[in-house]
Amino acid sequence: MEHVVLKQPTTYDRWKIRKRVFRLKQEHYFEYDSRNAFKLYVSRTKSQVQSELAKFILRLSKLNLHPQIEYAVMSEGKRLRPLLVILSAESVGGSRDEVMPLALAFELMHTASLVHDDIIDQDEMRRGRPAVHKKWSMNDALLTGDALIALAIDLASGYGETTLKAVAQSALELCDGEDMDLTFSLKTASEEPYFRKIGKKSASLFRAAAYCGALAGGGTPSEAHSLSAFGENFGIAYQLRDDLLDLASSPSIKSIPADLKTARLTLPLIHLYETSGLREREQLESDLRFLFGRKQSSSYAAVRRVQRMLGESDSVAYCEKRIAEYVQKAIDSITPLMESNSKSYLIQMVESLIVGWD
């Protein structure tokens, strides 16, 4: 048997190894520090937005609807739209103090849409608490949503006609997208109208938040356009991820996926239907027709069948692929922006839709 002599590393080899290990450690610590900096930024910004919202609501104490407005606005939320306003402004050299009222306007507009959505969907709970229409009345909830829209427009009006028109247009698109959602049916639904719908219902406020934040922060038309595209692609990716998370929830005595309770046709279901055979389509039609008709008293057996069909298909993987596509589109759209911490946070914000916040 031939005796193999291992070559001993030279001093130069050992130096190269140490250098590579040092570089890898640097990259790891940089990535770790970057993630921590992003999470700290989000936490502090959310706390500041929450504080400013509380101050704003306090000034409305003379309104008869003050209790309802406070209840709707001060519930726990991600505050993504004001965060996007602030990050967009800072990424073009603006300051958060200058755009804070605008950031609050987008949160109020979003809250108004949730109050009205709960009425349309007949949802009794919102963020772990009774919905406004359940805690008070249907009339109170309608008026609360209307008041929040009026307050949002008032806050946005201080930023000029272009910004005000953008906010109003996003609200109109949101309403149009909601109407499209209500008229969707399984046999007529396809990807093209679905993406058009979520572009209006879900992405419109994100798009306008980024665009208006850039304008209010002193950005150029080109920078505002880039951030508008970022907001739209972020909004679509966010909605697709929300669709997947909802359908992945396990059926239990107290929990049925919200989209199945409220007859929402989402991309996983549309893709599953379009790629299934005749027998699977008929079963899916039967189960969804039953679920959508029964609402709160839906059958858990039907829920399990739908979830099993999704698990056995490639619909989930397909949706994950589409999320990744829109995440990349969002990142590409802000390539022209100058490098900054704010730009880095925007990228991490959209990448979190794939890897999660942790």
pLDDT of residue 327 exceeding 70: yes
pLDDT in tens, 65-102: 999 999 999 988 899 999 999 999 999 999 999 999 99
Q: How confident is the model at residue 301 (pLDDT cuts 50, 70, 90)?
A: confident
On the question of pLDDT at 214 being above 90, the answer is yes
Tell me: the pLDDT tens digits for 184-200?
A: 777 777 899 999 999 99
For residue 250, is pLDDT > 80?
A: no
pLDDT score of 292 more than 90? no
With 80 as the cut, is the pLDDT of residue 300 above it? Answer: no
pLDDT the model gives residue 186: 75
Find the angle CA(154)-CA(233)-CA(335) to the nearest 5 degrees: 100
Whether the Cβ atoms of residue 343 and residue 33 lie closer than 8 Å to each other: no
Share of the chain above pLDDT 90, in %: 66
User: What integer pLDDT is reported at residue 286 of this predicted model?
Assistant: 85
Give the model's confidence band at 29: pLDDT under 50 very low, under 70 low, under 90 confident, else very high.
very low
More confident residue, 144 or 75: 144
pTM beyond 0.85: yes
pLDDT at 106 over 70: yes
* pLDDT one-digit tens code per residue, 39-75: 999 999 999 999 999 999 999 999 999 999 999 999 8
- Average pLDDT (318-342) is 97
* pLDDT tier at 357, thresholds 50, 70, 90: very low
pLDDT of residue 252 exceeding 90? no
Residue 313 is given by DSSP the state: S
CATH number of 44-355: 1.10.600.10
pLDDT at position 358 over 50: no
Closest Cα to residue 83, out of 32, 45, 120?
A: 45
How many Å apart are CA 20 and CA 5, to the nearest integer? Answer: 26
Quote the mean pLDDT of the chain.
Answer: 87
Return the percentage of the chain with pLDDT > 70, whole number. 85
Contact 226, 334 (CB under 8 A): yes
Angle between the N-to-C axes of helices 221-248 and 203-216, in degrees from 0 to 180, rounded to the nearest 10: 150
pLDDT exceeds cutoff 90 at 296: no
Euclidean distance between the first and the last CA atom of the chain, given in angstroms as a whole number: 54
CB-side exposure of 95: number of CA atoms within 13 Å? 2
